[in-house]
């Protein structure tokens, strides 16, 4: 029995060692490549602020047409260079796409690209002057649960002989 | 008293400890063909999914798996229990899941993309103290699932998809109040998190759980759950949190047919498509039908709507039909067809067909292979067609 448990724990650890691609880094890579004064939104290319799924915007599709590949930062740099060389202007107004971005404009829509704060994920991040409710609320749930359980056991007289 | 407090603290620490070490839960709505009309008897989440109950674990050996039966056939031994029989105190339930996947995708006109990735690595635990229950999961997500993350990196995050404090109003689980981060009570509960009826309605079990309070109740011929959503506090700023309600009610028309309706309405300051104030909703029927002990059919359709505050209202639809055929015990062949038109301007019709083979080899181990044909409408552009092959190995404890 012990060996079976060890074997399955090993399997789980082995599976846990595998990792996957890094497409979620594209907004940061884009910011770095074009020296943008803001962290781009996932909606620059995707339909959802959380990213993922199909590339749906004109700017995003223009990058795909120039060799952008998932999980490949080098392909992003190359596609951006080609985009600039081709003078692509997705919204057909303002400047070319890369210049739009550097001016804080969404190259697909012509709208301000940095007017809405980017979403942040996880517990512990703090907005200026505020306290993250993440761990606080988590602690509240567990705390209330423990207190209620202690109280209930006390009321039911559940003591150890 | 001191001992009681120590016991409780030990239980809490053990739970948090288990959580601190390590994707979505399992739920099989086609179990209706084995006369399981509800979910609460086998799952810790009364609407399905999350940890298996001891009874649910026994069923993985008694009826679910091809191999690992007892010498007489259907009797249950300790192999179906946690860790193949690691003894746990009666107040503790624990489990672990790891799922490794290999995917090949070939978009029309493009090169084939190959990738191996860890779909799930998760520990789950539930502590029951009288009528109270504290439950939660903690896992590792190499990518994605950021809405469930408790760490703040772009990749390689710890995720807490589900956790709750629950109170049972009676000895059975017929009425349960829960607060925490919960899978939304909506539609057919199933592990296929990217089905349109799950992902587009924001109700899948991958990372779309929400913080809130829910009340579950079941009677002899019906079950229902209503949840008030207070927002996902693992996402900031507050404008990205959606608030509203989600709920379903399902009636057992007979032992083999269940008919239900679901409804959800939410407000969000930053609509994920338009980044402006919006009210979105989804409403529709679902049906589960056990044709016989080898065939089960599921179907769901949702009317979608999105109203931008001070702007237009757009409507859409998401629908699914699914058939499960189990020719031999533990071996499932599944056929799925689904379609959607999202509730946004210029949205087109997308559809997918799935052919799936799922083999529950032995208690704790199953293999799955999917072939998915997809044609996706992209606003203001041509359609994107693709063929995907996805293989998965799933090991649980």
The shortest C-alpha distance from A99 to chain B (Å) reads 23
Sort B177 into a burial class: Cβ within 10 Å, 0-12 / 13-18 / 19+.
Answer: middle
CB of B138 less than 8 A from some CB of A: no
Task: State the pLDDT at residue A148.
Answer: 56
Rounded CA-CA distance B297/B335 in Å is 10
Q: Considering only CA atoms, which of B258, B264, B178, B238 is closest in space to residue B214?
A: B178
Contacts of A149 in chain B (CB under 8 A): 8, 129-130, 132, 134
Token match 């202690």: residue? A150
**pLDDT confidence of A100, banded at 50, 70, 90?**
confident
The pLDDT value recorded for residue A64 is 84
CA distances to B9, B81, B357, B359 from B60, rounded to whole Å, are 32, 9, 18, 12
Distance separating the N- and C-terminal Cα atoms of chain B: 34
- Highest mean pLDDT: which of A7-21, A43-57, B58-72? B58-72
Number of C-beta neighbours around residue A115 at 10 A: 11
Handedness of CA B185, A147, B54, A10 (dihedral sign): positive
- Report the residue of B98, B164, B342 to disrupt the A interface, i.e. the one with the largest count of A CBs within 10 Å: B98
- In the block, which residue shows the tokens 């063929």? B387
Per-window interface: B 69-88 vs A, CB < 8 A? 83-86
Band of residue A9 on the pLDDT scale cut at 50, 70, 90: very low
Q: Which of B163, B164, B165 to mutate to test the interface with A (most CBs of A within 10 A)?
A: B165
pLDDT for res A143 = 54
pLDDT value of position A158: 37
Residue A105 confidence class, pLDDT cut points 50, 70, 90:
confident
B53 neighbors B93 (Cβ within 8 angstroms): yes
Of all residues in chain A, the one with the smallest CA distance to B385 is A54
Asked if B395 contacts B98 with a C-beta cutoff of 8 angstroms, the reply is: yes
Report angle CA B61, B65, B69 to the nearest 5 degrees: 50
Give the CA angle between residues B306, B320, B114 to the nearest 5°. 95
When pLDDT is averaged across residues A48-63 and rounded to a whole number, the result is 76
Residues of chain A positioned with their CB less than 8 A from the CB of B392: none
Residue B281, Cα to own-chain centre: how many angstroms?
20
Q: DSSP letter at B305?
A: E
DSSP secondary structure letter of residue B269: S
Specify burial of residue B369 (Cβ count, 10 A radius: 0-12, 13-18, 19+): middle
Give the helix/strand (H/E) hosting B358: strand B349-362
> What is the pLDDT at residue B91?
95
Give pLDDT, residue B148.
95
Query: What residues 14-43 of chain B have any CB closer than 8 A to a CB of chain A?
Result: 16, 22
Question: Could you give the CA distance from residue B266 to residue B343 in angstroms, rounded to a whole number?
Answer: 14
- Say if strands B210-218 and B222-229 run parallel, antiparallel, or are unpaired: antiparallel
* Rounded percentage of chain A residues whose pLDDT exceeds 90: 1
Are B387 and B372 within 8 A, CB to CB? yes
Q: How far apart are alpha carbons B14 and A156 in whole angstroms?
A: 24
In this structure, what token pair is assigned to residue B6? 């120590």
Residue of B nearest to A123 (CA): B150
DSSP designation for A118: P
Query: Are A12 and B397 within 8 A, CB to CB?
Result: yes
Q: In whole angstroms, what is the distance from residue A96 CA to residue A87 CA?
A: 6
Residue A104 pLDDT exceeds 60? yes
Name which of B5, B100, B115 is nearest A21 (Cβ-Cβ): B115
- Which residues in chain A are closer than 8 Å to B122, comparing Cβ atoms? none
Is B367's Cβ below 8 Å from some Cβ in A? Answer: no
- Report whether B267 contacts B243 (CB < 8 A): yes
| Nearest by Cα to B274 from A37, A115, A101, A70 | A115
Both tokens assigned to B287: 């049906």
Which region, left, alpha or beta, applies to residue B202 given φ > 0 means left and ψ of -120 to 50 means alpha? Answer: left
**Residues A118-136, mean pLDDT to the nearest whole number:** 55
Q: How many CB atoms lie within 10 A of CB B16?
A: 14
| Any A CB within 8 A of B277 CB | no
d(CA B210, CA B227): 9
pLDDT at A16: 34
ipTM value for the complex: 0.81
Min distance B37 CA to chain A CA atoms (Å): 31
Mean pLDDT per 10-residue interval, chain B, length 397 residues: 46 40 54 74 91 89 86 77 91 95 89 91 95 96 92 92 95 91 96 93 94 95 96 92 97 93 95 82 96 94 91 92 95 96 83 96 95 82 85 95
CA B95 – CA B74 distance, rounded (Å): 23
Contact in structure between A83 and A62 (CB atoms under 8 Å): yes
| DSSP of B164-220 | EEEEESSSSSSEEEEEEEE----S---S-TTSHHHHTTT--SSS--EEEEEEEEE-S
DSSP state of B58: H
What is the pLDDT at residue B381? 59
Q: A with B: how many residue pairs have Cβ under 8 Å apart?
A: 187
| CB contact set of B380 (below 8 Å; sequence gap of 6+) | A58, B346
CA distance B247 to B214: 9
């Amino acid at each position: 029995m012990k060996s079976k448990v060890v074997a399955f724990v090993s399997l789980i650890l082995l599976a846990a060692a595998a990792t996957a691609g890094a497409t979620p880094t594209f907004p940061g890579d884009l910011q770095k490549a074009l020296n943008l004064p803001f962290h781009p939104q996932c909606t620059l290319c995707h339909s959802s602020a959380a990213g993922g799924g199909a590339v749906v915007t004109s700017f995003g599709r223009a990058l795909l047409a120039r060799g952008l590949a998932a999980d490949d930062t080098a392909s992003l740099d190359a596609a951006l260079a080609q985009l600039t060389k081709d003078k692509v202007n997705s919204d057909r107004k303002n400047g070319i796409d890369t210049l739009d971005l550097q001016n804080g404009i969404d190259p697909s829509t012509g709208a301000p690209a940095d007017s809405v704060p980017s979403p942040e994920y996880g517990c512990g991040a703090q907005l200026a002057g505020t306290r993250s409710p993440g761990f606080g609320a988590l602690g509240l749930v567990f705390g209330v649960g423990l207190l209620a359980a202690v109280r209930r056991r006390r009321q039911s007289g559940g003591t150890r002989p | 008293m001191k001992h009681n407090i120590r016991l409780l603290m030990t239980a809490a620490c053990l739970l948090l400890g288990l959580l601190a070490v390590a994707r979505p839960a399992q739920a099989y709505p086609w179990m209706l063909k084995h006369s399981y009309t509800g979910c609460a008897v086998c799952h810790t989440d009364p609407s399905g999914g999350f940890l298996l109950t001891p009874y649910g674990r026994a069923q993985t050996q008694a009826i679910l798996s091809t191999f690992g039966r007892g010498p007489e056939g259907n009797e249950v031994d300790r192999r179906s229990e946690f860790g193949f029989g690691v003894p746990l105190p009666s107040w503790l339930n624990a489990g672990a899941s790891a799922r490794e996947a290999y995917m090949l995708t070939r978009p029309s006109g493009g090169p084939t993309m190959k990738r191996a990735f860890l779909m799930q690595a998760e520990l789950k635990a539930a502590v029951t103290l009288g009528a109270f229950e504290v439950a939660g999961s903690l896992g590792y997500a190499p990518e994605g699932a950021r809405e469930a993350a408790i760490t703040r990196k772009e990749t390689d995050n710890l995720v807490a998809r589900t956790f709750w404090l629950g109170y049972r109003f009676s000895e059975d689980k017929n009425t349960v109040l829960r607060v925490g981060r919960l899978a939304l009570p909506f539609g057919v509960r199933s592990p296929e998190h990217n089905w349109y009826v799950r992902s587009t309605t924001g109700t899948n079990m991958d990372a779309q759980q929400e913080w809130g309070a829910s009340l579950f109740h079941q009677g002899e011929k019906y079950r229902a759950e209503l949840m008030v959503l207070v927002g996902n506090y693992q996402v900031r700023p507050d404008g990205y949190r959606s608030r509203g309600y989600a709920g379903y009610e399902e009636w057992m028309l007979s032992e083999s047919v269940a008919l239900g309706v679901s409804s959800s309405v939410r407000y969000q300051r930053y609509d994920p498509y338009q980044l402006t104030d919006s009210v979105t909703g989804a409403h529709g029927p679902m049906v589960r039908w056990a044709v016989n002990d080898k065939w089960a059919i599921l179907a769901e359709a949702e009317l979608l709507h999105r109203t931008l505050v001070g702007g237009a209202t757009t409507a859409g639809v998401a629908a699914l039909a699914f058939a499960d055929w189990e020719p031999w015990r533990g071996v499932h062949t599944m056929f799925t067809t689904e379609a959607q038109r999202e509730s946004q301007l210029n949205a087109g019709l997308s559809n997918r067909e799935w052919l799936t083979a799922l083999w529950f080899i032995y208690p704790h181990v199953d293999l799955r292979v999917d072939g998915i044909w997809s044609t996706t409408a992209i606003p203001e552009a041509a359609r994107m067609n693709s063929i995907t092959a996805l293989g998965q190995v799933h090991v649980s404890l």
